[in-house]
C-alpha cells in the first residue's frame, strides 16, 4: 500500500500558520515579481480566480479588500515543508518526497487494519505540530493514491483520509475522475484520449490492454496498469541534472552594463554553488538576456551566448569569470533589459573530471577549489556571507518586486514573530 500526503493549498497554508487572521479569507500567493497567481485558498477559488491569473487582473480586488495577496516567500515554505516531511519520515518505514508539498509513504510491513489509523494520526499531528492541513490518499498504487488524495481533499466527510482498498471503491473513484486529472496524463495526452471517447479514468481502464499499448505506448500502458491496481511506477531515483539555470526578471529595466554584470555574477555564483552541492562540474556556461517583450514601443533583443570551458569546473571564480566574458559578447548599451540568466551545461561528475596533461595550472585549480569550499562553509551560516568582488551586496530579494511578502518567521531572528 502507498499513502500520498498532500499539503492543502500549501503556500497559502504556510502564510496562515503565523498569520491566523488569514483563516477563512480569500488569499492568493503570487509568483516572483508579483507577476501571477501560483496558489489559492479555497475562498479565492470560489471567487473564480484561476491558477496563473496575472496579478493586474485581480489588483482591484486587493485594493477593495475582497482579496488578500501575498508575495512568494520560498524560505518560509521550504522550512515548513522540511518540518512536515520530518514528521512523516519518523512515522513510516519509507518516504519518497515527490515535491515541496507532497510525499509518498510506503506502508509495507504495517498491518492493513492499522494503515488508516496511522494516516488519521498523521493528519492531526502535522496540523498540530506544524499548522499545515494535509490530505492523505491510500491505495495499492501511486496513481490510485493520488486519486484518493483528491477525494480526501475535496470532501470533508473523509476527515483528511481516503482509502481505496477494494475494487468497488476503485471503480467508483475512477468513474468520478476526469481522465485529464489522472496523474501522468498530460494535457496533450488527455486531448488525444478524449478524441477517442475516453472521458473518465473508468473509460480508460475499460479499454483492452492491446488497444491501450497501440494508441498510448508504454507510458499510457503503465498508467492503465496503475489504475487497475497493478504497481508499475517504481520508486523515483534522483538523478543528477544535466544543466542548472539561475535567472531573474528585474523589477525595473536595466541598461547599465555594470549593474547588469553584478546581477549576472550573482546568478553565476549561485549556479557554481549548486554544482558543488550536487557533486557536479560544468563544461559549458551560457548567458542570456531578455528585453521586455510586452513593451512593443521598445526595441527587442534576446541574445544568448555559450562559453566552452577548457576543463569542467565548479569553482565560483571560473564559472563567474566565464559568465562575465559571455555578457561582454552580447551586451548592447542601446537596449533596456528586463531579465538575465546563467546556465551551466554538459555536467559531469566532479570526481571524474579529466584534466589535460600539458599546459594546465593544476595548482591554480586546487586553490580555486579550496576557496570555493571555504565560501560554502562560511555561507552555510547565512545567505551569501562571503562573495566575490564582482557580485552585489545584499540579497536577490532586493531586485524582485515583492510588495506583499511576509516575514521569514521560522528561519530569521530579525523576522521572528512578536508577541504583544
9 band by pLDDT with thresholds 50, 70 and 90: very high
- What is the model's pLDDT at position 129? 96
Which residues of the chain does CATH 3.30.1490.100 include? 243-391
Q: DSSP characters for 347-364?
A: EEEGGGPPPPSSS--HHH
395 band by pLDDT with thresholds 50, 70 and 90: low
170 band by pLDDT with thresholds 50, 70 and 90: very high
Give tens-digit pLDDT for 86-145.
999 999 989 999 999 999 999 988 999 999 999 999 999 999 999 999 999 999 999 999
- What is the model's pLDDT at position 102? 96
CA dist., res. 154 & res. 359, Å (int): 65
Contact 322, 287 (CB under 8 A): no
Which position has the higher pLDDT, 184 or 377?
184
Please tell me the total number of residues recorded for the chain in this structure.
420
Q: Identify which of 27-36, 169-178, 183-192, 375-384 has the greatest average pLDDT.
A: 169-178
252 band by pLDDT with thresholds 50, 70 and 90: confident
How crowded is the C-beta side of 79, counted as CA atoms within 13 Å?
A: 13
Q: Identify which of 144-148, 233-237, 242-246, 387-391 has the greatest average pLDDT.
A: 144-148
Percent of the chain with pLDDT over 70: 91
Which position has the higher pLDDT, 16 or 417?
16
Contact 142, 128 (CB under 8 A): no
- Residue 235 pLDDT more than 90? no
- Residue 241 pLDDT more than 70? yes
- What is the model's pLDDT at position 411? 82
187 band by pLDDT with thresholds 50, 70 and 90: confident
- What is the model's pLDDT at position 394? 59
Which residues of the chain does CATH 3.40.1170.60 include? 10-71
Contact 137, 149 (CB under 8 A): yes
Which position has the higher pLDDT, 413 or 23?
23
- What is the model's pLDDT at position 397? 47
398 band by pLDDT with thresholds 50, 70 and 90: very low
Give residue for cell 551566448. Answer: 305
Does domain 77-227 sit in CATH 3.30.70.270? yes
Secondary element (H or E) of residue 10:
helix 10-18
Cβ count near 337 (within 10 Å): 23
Cβ count near 143 (within 10 Å): 27
- Residue 161 pLDDT more than 80? yes
CA dist., res. 266 & res. 75, Å (int): 18
Contact 269, 300 (CB under 8 A): no
Tell me which architecture the domain covering 243-391 has in CATH. Answer: 2-Layer Sandwich (3.30)
Give tens-digit pLDDT for 340-354.
999 999 898 888 776
- CA distances from residue 64 to 36, 60, 69, 364, 405 in whole angstroms, order as listed: 18, 6, 12, 60, 19
Least trusted range by pLDDT, from 130-139, 150-159, 296-305, 405-414: 405-414
CATH of domain 10-71: 3.40.1170.60
Q: What is the mean pLDDT of the chain?
A: 89
Give mean pLDDT, residues 281-291: 94
CA dist., res. 220 & res. 184, Å (int): 8
- Residue 79 pLDDT more than 80? yes
- Residues in contact with 326: Cβ distance below 8 Å, sequence separation at least 6, in sequence order: 285, 286, 287, 305, 306, 307
Contact 162, 152 (CB under 8 A): yes
Phi first, then psi, for residue 139 (nearest 5°) are -165, 170
Nearest to 235 by CA among 140, 146, 145, 104: 104
360 band by pLDDT with thresholds 50, 70 and 90: low
Cell of 100: 515541496
387 band by pLDDT with thresholds 50, 70 and 90: confident
Amino acid at each position: 500500500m502507498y499513502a500520498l500526503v498532500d499539503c492543502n493549498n500549501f503556500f497559502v497554508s504556510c502564510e496562515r500558520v503565523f498569520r491566523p487572521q488569514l483563516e477563512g479569507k480569500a488569499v492568493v500567493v503570487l509568483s516572483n515579481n508579483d507577476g501571477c497567481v501560483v496558489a489559492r485558498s479555497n475562498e479565492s477559488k470560489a471567487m473564480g480566480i484561476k491558477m496563473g491569473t496575472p496579478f493586474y487582473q485581480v489588483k482591484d480586488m486587493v485594493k477593495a479588500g475582497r482579496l488578500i495577496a501575498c508575495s512568494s516567500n520560498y524560505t518560509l515554505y521550504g522550512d515548513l515543508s522540511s518540518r512536515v516531511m520530518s514528521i512523516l519520515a519518523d512515522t513510516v518505514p519509507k518516504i519518497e518526497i515527490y515535491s515541496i508539498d507532497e510525499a509518498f509513504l510506503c506502508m509495507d510491513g504495517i498491518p492493513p487494519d492499522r494503515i488508516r489509523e496511522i494516516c488519521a494520526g498523521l493528519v492531526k499531528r502535522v496540523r498540530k505540530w506544524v499548522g499545515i492541513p494535509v490530505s492523505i490518499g491510500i491505495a495499492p498504487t501511486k496513481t490510485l493514491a493520488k486519486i484518493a488524495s483528491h477525494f480526501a481533499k475535496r470532501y470533508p466527510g473523509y476527515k483528511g483520509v481516503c482509502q481505496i482498498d477494494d475494487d468497488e471503491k476503485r471503480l467508483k473513484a475512477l468513474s468520478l475522475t476526469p481522465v485529464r486529472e489522472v496523474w501522468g496524463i498530460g494535457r496533450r495526452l488527455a486531448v488525444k484520449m478524449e478524441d477517442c471517447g475516453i472521458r473518465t479514468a473508468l473509460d480508460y481502464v475499460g479499454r483492452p490492454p492491446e488497444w491501450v499499448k497501440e494508441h498510448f505506448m508504454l507510458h499510457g500502458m503503465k498508467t492503465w496498469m496503475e489504475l487497475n491496481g497493478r504497481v508499475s511506477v517504481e520508486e523515483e531515483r534522483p538523478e543528477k541534472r544535466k544543466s542548472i539555470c539561475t535567472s531573474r526578471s528585474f523589477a525595473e529595466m536595466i541598461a547599465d552594463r555594470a549593474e547588469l554584470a553584478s546581477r549576472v555574477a550573482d546568478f553565476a555564483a549561485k549556479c557554481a554553488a549548486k554544482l558543488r552541492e550536487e557533486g557536479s562540474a560544468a563544461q559549458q556556461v551560457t548567458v542570456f538576456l531578455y528585453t521586455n517583450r510586452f513593451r512593443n514601443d521598445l526595441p527587442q533583443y534576446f541574445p544568448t551566448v555559450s562559453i566552452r570551458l577548457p576543463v569542467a569546473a565548479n569553482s565560483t571564480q571560473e564559472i563567474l569569470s566565464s559568465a562575465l566574458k559571455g555578457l561582454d559578447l552580447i551586451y548592447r548599451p542601446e537596449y533596456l533589459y528586463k531579465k538575465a540568466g546563467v546556465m551551466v551545461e554538459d555536467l559531469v561528475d566532479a570526481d571524474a573530471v579529466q584534466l589535460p596533461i600539458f599546459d594546465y595550472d593544476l595548482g591554480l585549480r586546487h586553490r580555486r577549489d579550496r576557496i570555493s569550499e571555504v565560501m560554502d562553509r562560511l555561507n552555510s551560516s547565512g545567505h551569501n556571507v562571503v562573495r566575490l568582488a564582482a557580485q552585489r551586496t545584499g540579497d536577490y530579494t532586493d531586485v524582485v518586486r515583492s510588495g506583499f511578502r511576509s516575514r521569514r518567521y521560522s528561519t530569521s531572528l530579525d523576522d521572528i514573530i512578536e508577541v504583544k
